[in-house]
Amino acid sequence: MKYKYYNGFCSDYFKEELEIIERTPFHTKVKDRKKVFSQTPTNDWYKEKLIEEKWKPEFFKKSPYGEKCDFYKNSTIIEVQFGKYFSLYKDILHLEWLYEHNIISSVIYITACKQNGDSILIYNKAEKAFDYFLNKKTNIPVLLVGLHWDNEV
C-alpha cells in the first residue's frame, strides 16, 4: 500500500477503514490468456465490508460536477476509482464542491498502484493531480491510497 496525506487528513479517526483497506483482496480474471485485476469483485468486496461498518453506499449529492460518491459516513467520503483517468478530475471537482458547501469534511480516495487489466487510473497519476489541486486550489483533507497487486484471489 501507498499512502499520501493532504491538508491535515487525520487517519486516527479511520482505523477500521484503514484495516479494511489493508485487507483488500486482489481479485483477478483471465483476459487474453493473462491473469489481470478485476474491478467488479473488488468493488463488491468494499461495498460488503464498508456497509458492515455503517458506511452508506452510493451517496447521492448533486453538484455541477457530479451526483454520487461511492461511500459516505459522518461527513467523510470514500471514493474507489480504478476506472478512467478523466474520472479523477471530475471526482476532484465534485468533492471540492461538496467540501466548499460543508457537505463533507474529508475524503479517502483509493486507486491502484500500477495498471493491470482494465484499471487505467493509477496511483502516480492520481498523486500528481492531487498534488496540484490539493496543494494549490483546495483545502479538502484527503488520504490517497494506492493498492498493490501482489495478493491475488
Q: What is the pLDDT at residue 119? A: 52
Q: What is the pLDDT at residue 4? A: 92
Q: What is the pLDDT at residue 142? A: 93
Q: What is the pLDDT at residue 153? A: 42
User: Do residues 147 and 25 lie in contact, with contact meaning Cβ atoms separated by under 8 Å?
Assistant: no
Query: Which H or E element spans position 136?
Result: helix 123-136
Q: What is the pLDDT at residue 118? A: 54
Query: Which H or E element spans position 97?
Result: helix 85-100
Q: Write out residues in the chain with pLDDT < 70, as ranges.
A: 115-120, 149-153
Q: What is the pLDDT at residue 121? A: 75
Q: What is the pLDDT at residue 150? A: 60
Query: Which H or E element spans position 67?
Result: strand 66-73
Which residues, in sequence order, are bridge partners of residue 110?
80, 145
User: Strands 28-31 and 76-80: what pairing?
Assistant: unpaired
- CB-based burial label for 30 (10 Å; 0-12, 13-18, 19+): exposed
